[in-house]
A = this chain, B = another copy of it.
Amino acid sequence: MLEIREVGPRDGLQNEEPLNPERRAEIISALCRTGLREIEAVSFVSPRAVPAMARPADVLELVDRRSEVRLWALVPNVRGAEMAVDANIDALTVTVSACPVYNEKNVRQTVAESVAAIGSIVEIAAGRPVDVVISCVFGSPYTGDAPTAAVPDLIGQLSDLGATRFTLADTTGMATPHLVDRVLHKTGVDVGLHLHDTRGTALVNAKTAIDLGVTRFDTAVGGLGGSPFARGAGGNLPTEDLVHLVLDDPAVETGVDLTALLAVADDLAAAVDHPLPGRIATHGPAR
């Protein structure tokens, strides 16, 4: 059984024109009815920095929550974690980069400072799952190379601080099947993957990981996120493209209703008022 974490309401919508909390809650509630069990619904970031993610507590309040669906919030720091817990979130996502240059440019912290902050967030989470999304695992836009050697060490440090899940992110779409294989042999397959489709490789990298035993994937309905405005650019791995890929494979279950998911993608395209990059949302299922 694949465990698909839908990140569209957060990673997909964060770079769009802001939707009001009611509309965002409507989309999340619809996703809760597709069979998805994990949804990254909001982030507790500065509304000045990311206006599209404003009022996360209001969004959570409005969502038609279901006991079988775990809602995640991305939190950038201790204050965000406190607000997320106050808002009755189920689980927390935090980030750190495998590339020190990227970490310093992105959050103006050293990797060590980010690791320490995650330790504090784990305490605030008070037993809720904390998933560390490690960015640039398959390549950094600053240094080129994949900082794969740093990843197992980072996972070790964070595990010691109580983080319980790790997700390897291909932030800039630089992963290849061979590199996925190399990295997973270092980390083991009890990790999630967060793949970007910049170079059209998200599906093939996901399939490679599935074949190696990975069961957790971050995806975004319609493929929203990343750089949807660049010509031909894919953003996140589209949820419905991954579901469709394995639909006829009796060895791989997702539990997701593709028809219901495609209806959400249609609604999302209307909400953001532009076409989505997802190929199944665009062309329809093969059968």
8 Å CB interface, A79-128 against B:
none
Quick check: is A167 within 8 A (CB to CB) of the other chain?
Answer: no
Q: Is the pair B232, A282 in contact by a Cβ cutoff of 8 Å?
A: yes
Which of B208, B241, B249, B279 meets A178, CB within 8 Å?
Answer: B249
Binds B, one of A3-11, A31-39, A55-63, A193-201: A193-201
The docked-state distance in angstroms from the alpha carbon of A204 to that of B203 is 6
> Interface stretch among A45-53, A65-73, A169-177, A256-264?
A169-177
Q: Residue on B with the closest CB to A285? A: B199
Chain B residues, Cβ within 8 Å of A248:
176, 178-179
Assess the B241–A275 pair: CB atoms within 8 A: no
The contact of A286 among B174, B208, B277, B286, by CB within 8 Å, is B174
Q: Is the CB of B200 within 8 A of A241?
A: yes
Give chain B residues whose Cβ lies under 8 Å from the Cβ of A216: none
| A231 and B176 contacting across the interface, CB-CB below 8 Å | no
A185 at the interface (CB under 8 A from B): no
Q: Is A233 an interface residue (CB 8 A)?
A: yes
Contact B279 A144 (CB under 8 A): no
Q: In the complex, which residues of chain B have a beta carbon less than 8 angstroms from the beta carbon of A286?
A: 139, 172-176, 199
Chain B residue at minimal CB-CB distance from A174 = B286
- B282 touching A231, Cβ below 8 Å: yes
- Cβ A200 vs Cβ B279 within 8 A: yes
- Binary flags per residue of A149-174, CB closer than 8 Å to B gives 1, else 0: 00000000000000000000000111
Which residues of A (185-223) have their CB < 8 Å from a CB of B? 198-201, 203-204, 207-208, 211
In the complex, A280 has a CB within 8 A of chain B: yes
Is A287 within 8 A of B204, CB to CB? no
B245, B250, B283: the one contacting A177 at CB < 8 Å is B245
Kindly list the 5 A-B residue pairs having the minimum CB-CB distance in the complex, ordered from nearest: A200-B279, A174-B286, A178-B249, A204-B204, A232-B282
Binding site for B on A (CB under 8 A): 139, 144-145, 172-179, 198-201, 203-204, 207-208, 211, 231-234, 241, 244-250, 275, 277, 279-280, 282-283, 286-287
Q: List 20 A-B contacts (CB under 8 A).
A: A139-B287, A173-B286, A174-B286, A175-B286, A176-B245, A176-B249, A176-B286, A177-B245, A179-B248, A198-B283, A200-B203, A200-B241, A201-B203, A204-B204, A204-B207, A204-B245, A207-B208, A231-B282, A232-B275, A234-B279
